Homo-oligomer: A and B are copies of this chain.
């Protein structure tokens, strides 16, 4: 099975490569904007394809080279908070690279299965009347990133409906793990707790709304779900992927407190508040305690 991963050098991409490498007959190629040591340590040099997918010729060339059976489309500008200041850039980039990929696939590998990694962020401001949240809950986007992901999903659906492209949309809820940037809640908290333990930081952490509820999965569970989806989901459909469990931010902090000897004061800072997501879906095996503990240990082991 020939597999191409776009955004292969990113946080989730590297985990997905490791997951796919568990099957020895998988021939894995990674498309990256620019090669890094992370990806070079995972794939042979001639399986790493550099280039900017917002250039159609790059998408064409990658697909000509690899002729993949399966494409995991992870490439995207993906930080929600940033997307307000860079709205046009986030929306155009995520739209254009997805369009180029779907169009090049239609021309070069029309039978390839495309796992279109969208986002549960599209639900945004969920109405009470829409709960429990399912795949048919309306889109209520709260940020430009969310709009870009709706657009990406709709483009994939259009290619399925118009050309019969074998596109499956996945809508992952929050997922985290070692390697995710500290723009995201749990790695940031892990970094801060580790720094407080080492005496490098005053024992006060500022945080947005403690009551906002999010569904956190471990990235290792998430990539397992992506591979299962590629094996069994239906083209033209969209699937939520989450732990099915909502955690308040305050509960996340409780887990950190239970894993750390440090006495940490939590201050609520209003301008960090952002709206909440809510769970649905599948079968995780890694507890949030375990996820947080692993990330915390990672930051404890950092020098400095």
Q: Report the minimal beta-carbon distance from A278 to chain B, rounded to whole angstroms.
A: 15
Neighbouring B residues of A124 by C-beta, 8 Å: 158, 161
A176 contacts chain B at the CB level, 8 A cutoff:
no
Within 8 A of B (CB), among A88-145: 88, 91-92, 95-96, 99, 103, 124-125, 136, 138-144
Indicate if the CB atoms of A141 and B125 lie closer than 8 Å. Answer: no
Question: How many A residues, CB 8 Å from partner?
Answer: 28
Contact of A147 among B92, B96, B138, B158 (CB under 8 A): B158
Q: Which residue on B lies nearest to A147, using beta carbons? A: B154
Tally of this chain's copies: 2
Question: Chain B contacts of A103 at CB under 8 A?
Answer: 87
In the complex, whether A302 has a CB less than 8 A from a CB of chain B is: no
Measured between C-beta atoms, what is the minimum distance from A170 to chain B in Å?
Answer: 17
| Chain B residues within an 8 Å CB radius of A88 | 95-96, 99
Please give the distance in Å from A67's CB to the nearest CB on chain B.
24
A155 proximal to B (CB < 8 A):
yes
The answer to the question of A157 belonging to the interface, with a C-beta cut-off of 8 Å to chain B, is yes
Report the Cα distance A91→B91, complex, angstroms: 10
| A151 proximal to B (CB < 8 A) | yes
Residues of B within 8 A of A157 (CB): 139-141
Q: Complex: how many Å from CA A168 to CA B138?
A: 16
Separation of A143 and B154 alpha carbons in the complex (Å): 10
Q: If A91-B99, A95-B95, A96-B88 touch, does A150 touch B141 (CB 8 Å cutoff)?
A: no
Interface check A46, CB cutoff 8 A: no
- A140's closest neighbor in chain B, by CB? B161
Min C-beta distance of A98 to chain B, whole Å? 10
A155, B147: Cβ atoms closer than 8 Å: yes
Interface 1/0s, chain A 150-193, versus B by CB < 8 A? 11001101100110000000000000000000000000000000
Contact residues of A with B, CB < 8 Å?
87-88, 91-92, 95-96, 99, 103, 124-125, 136, 138-144, 146-147, 150-151, 154-155, 157-158, 161-162
